[in-house]
Every structure is written in C-alpha cells, then in structure tokens.
Structure 1
C-alpha cells in the first residue's frame, strides 16, 4: 500500500492542484491529510489562489481516498463543505505491522507525544517543516506544507511506501528519506 501525505493546504487551490498532480503521478492508494485544509489562518498571509470553496470541491472528488484529521485552522463549518470526516484530532492507521498515529500537531507534538509503543510512527503537520527521524524508538515524521513551507523549505508532501517514508518537493525531488524499521 502506498499512502500520499499532505498537510496545511490553507485554502490554496493552486497548491492543492499541484499536490494532486503529484498524487496521480505517485499512483498512491490513499491520501492522508494532516489538517488545515480550507482556512488560511490568522497568522498566515493569503496563499496563492486562496479559494476554500474550490478546495473543498476538489477534495470532495477524492473523498473515497481521503483519511483526514482536524487542524487548528479547521472548524465545524469546514466539515459542512467536505464530504469526508475530518473533525477528529487524530487517527490511527496500521501499515506493515506498524501503528501510525496521525494528527495535526497542535494538540500532540514532538514535545507532547501520545502513548506510543516502540517503533510506532508519529506523523503530524502544523509546523510547515519537513521532519523524518527516530527519537527514543519512535519515528517522528512531518511532510512539511504543500502551500506555506517555512524555514526556506520547498512545498512538500510525504509518501509511505515499502517500509520507507519519503518527503518530496511538489516537483517530485526527494528531500528526506527514512527507513521505518
């Protein structure tokens, strides 16, 4: 199974379209969205082609393939536009014998991890920074942001595939890679 991971769309139809082009090119099975889908948030400038209504319409076309969690900029009114559940603070997936704890990062974070077992995976968004490392036998992952990358990083997404996690730019270049074993 191949999972395409994005975070922090922040209402940009331009960058969502670029990410979905990458999803199609990657031929992934599912899309995991780590929150902040429609609203740009009060701390961010309006992103390129800010259009939350269009973003919701585009995402709804992929509703059968989306697994999503709520970000700090997401609200109940956003859920009214989206045709898949996205109001949970986290979701848990099982892949290749590993538990993946997926969340946005504003409640659980690298500094405030949930209860996890050895070799579990903690994946989050929120910081807009790509992260891939192992800390005290827990994998810590963040795909970065497709719309508003920070720290001089590129607009990026993540891929779970064949026991690895890759962080790639929207152009498909690998930025980071970690073996999940």
Structure 2
C-alpha cells in the first residue's frame, strides 16, 4: 500500500500542478486528500495562480486514485466540479498489518481532540498548514503541511509505504521519516 497524502491546496493551480508532478513521479496506489482543495477561505490571502477550476481539472485527472475528506473550506458546490467524493468528515484506511490510518481535515478532530485509534495506528490531518510527524500515546500524528499556503516555511506532502511515513517538500526532497508505532 503506497499512499500520497496532501492537504490545503486552496485553489492554487501552480502548486496543484507541482503536486500532480509528484503524484506522477511517486506513482502511489492511492492519493489521500485531507481537504481545503478549491477555495482559499476567508482567513487566507489568495494563493499564487488562484484558479479553482484548473485545480478541479488537475485533480479530476487522478480521480480513480483519490480518496478525499472535507475541509472547513469545502462546500457542496465543490462537489459539483470534482469527479470524486469530497464531503466525508473522515475516512479510515487499514494497512496490510491491520493498523488503522484515521484521516480527517483537522477542524473537527485534531491532536487535542483525537478520535479513538488503536495503538499502532496513525491520525492524519491537515488544517494547520504545519507539518507534523510525531508519536503520542502509541499513535503517530501526521500532518503533511500545506501544498500552497504553508505556515511553517515549505510547501509539502507526505508518503506512506510499508509502515513508514515520509514528509517531503513539494520538490520531492525528504524532510523527515517515522515508522508507525509497534502494535501493543
């Protein structure tokens, strides 16, 4: 199971195009999008090359690989232009070893308000635009950061393969890695 995880594109055609290059290069089985795909939101400045329809067209090109959750900026109109479901508050994936990956945007559940996840699993979220890769209480907290409006210095995404999460800059350069905690 190879998963590319990205969040907070916020309608930037430029950085979505760079994400599409990473998707093509990484060749994941699944692209997991953690919300805030098309709209920039009232608290954010317009991202570079703001063009939500171009972002929708780019992402629709990967529709057969995408699993997406709703961010706080998603609206029903977004679903009208996206060819994959994007309105679920969360999704759960299970890896080959039976470990749960709970994926959400981060505005409903977050590290301060976690849903139940069995030890050895991971909590995947976006929303803060800040990368995170750390274990707490037997759960790995994973935030891929933001594709277009980072609040921690670099545009980024994450990869998951064989129980290992990698944080990468949008250029593809590796920033950090961490294994899922051992099953207890």
Sort the TM-score into its range (normalised by shorter chain): over 0.9
Alignment-derived partner of residue 61 in structure 1: 61
In structure 1, runs of 5+ residues without a counterpart are none
Pair 1:27-2:4 in alignment:
no
**TM-score in terms of structure 2 length:** 0.96
Does the CA-based 8 Å contact 2:90-2:103 persist in structure 1?
Answer: yes
Equivalence map 1:164-175=2 (5 Å): 164-175=164-175
Alignment-derived partner of residue 74 in structure 1: 74
In structure 2, runs of 5+ residues without a counterpart are none
Show CA shifts across 1:38-92 (max 9, x none).
0000000000110001111111111111000000000111011111101000001
Equivalence map 1:22-171=2 (5 Å): 22-96=22-96, 97-151=98-152, 153-171=153-171
* Residue aligned with 2:115, SS: coil
CA distance, structure 2, for counterparts of residue 55 and residue 24 of structure 1: 16
Matched residue count? 180
The 10-residue stretch of structure 1 (62-71 or 93-102) with the greater mean CA deviation from structure 2: 93-102
Cα deviation, residue 27, structure 1: 1.6
Alignment-derived partner of residue 13 in structure 2: 13
CA distance, structure 1, for counterparts of residue 50 and residue 100 of structure 2: 35
* Residue aligned with 1:49, SS: coil
Cα deviation, residue 18, structure 1: 0.3
Show CA shifts across 1:126-171 (max 9, x none).
00111001101111110000101103x2100000012100000011
**TM-score in terms of structure 1 length:** 0.97
